[in-house]
Amino acid sequence: GENVEQHPSTLSVQEGDSAVIKCTYSDSASNYFPWYKQELGKGPQLIIDIRSNVGEKKDQRIAVTLNKTAKHFSLHITETQPEDSAVYFCAASMDTGGGNKLTFGTGTQLKVEL
Amino acid sequence: DAGVTQSPTHLIKTRGQQVTLRCSPKSGHDTVSWYQQALGQGPQFIFQYYEEEERQRGNFPDRFSGHQFPNYSSELNVNALLLGDSALYLCASSLLSPQETQYFGPGTRLLVL
């Protein structure tokens, strides 16, 4: 089955700096890659996703890049703010013909310091 | 438009008991997926329901079962609870089509003593 690795496990940045989180996946059939933000005591919230037919997607301060050849994708957050502090999860999904389960990475605890 | 809702928010059970968790999907969605999230870990896929049938299943024992109702809401049942079943149980709703976004509910925190 699919395996998703995520790095780093913790990331501390100064407010205004950029943050980058990287994920690799094992199954070349994966074709959908969402990123979720999870705040304490809450469920994961989708912040951006990318499909395998594009290499990059941007939404304001957040961008995701995908390298299908290397089987890795990354989340980039620019101009970080204290409210960006949370746990971020990458995930991968493939079309199995019967559903669309997500395989998650182990998460990155992002702390934005004033 | 209501998002994904789950009940109860918290639950405490003892080993050997049975538990039922409930989920109502986002309006317009027909597919419900259940995930287990242990403390400090990423969510792990349990199973997915569409048209009242289990479509996919992760590596979870038969003690974990589910149901989907005609109104697309869903239940997760866990029998013979173990201490290791303590976790946050997340429900996600979507359309079945590949690459469709899954939207998560707030989860049910289950503690097994």
* Contacts with A98 from chain B: Cβ below 8 Å: 55-56
As a whole number, the mean pLDDT across chain A is 94
Which stretches of chain B drop beneath a pLDDT of 70? Answer: 1
Q: Give the residue with greater pLDDT, B75 vs A114.
A: B75
Residue type, B59: N
Here the tokens at position B84 are 């290791």
The confidence band for A53, taking pLDDT boundaries of 50, 70 and 90, is confident
Query: Given CB atoms, is B66 within the 8 Å cutoff of chain A?
Result: no
Over pLDDT 90: what percentage of chain A? 82
Are B106 and A100 an interchain contact pair (Cβ–Cβ within 8 Å)? no
Average pLDDT over residues A53-70: 93
Are B45 and A102 an interchain contact pair (Cβ–Cβ within 8 Å)? yes
Average pLDDT over residues A83-95: 94
| Cβ partners under 8 Å of residue B66, min gap 6 | B34, B46, B47, B49, B54, B74, B75, B76, B77
* Contacts with A106 from chain B: Cβ below 8 Å: 41-42
Of the candidate ranges A10-14, A40-44, B80-84, the one whose mean pLDDT is the lowest: A40-44
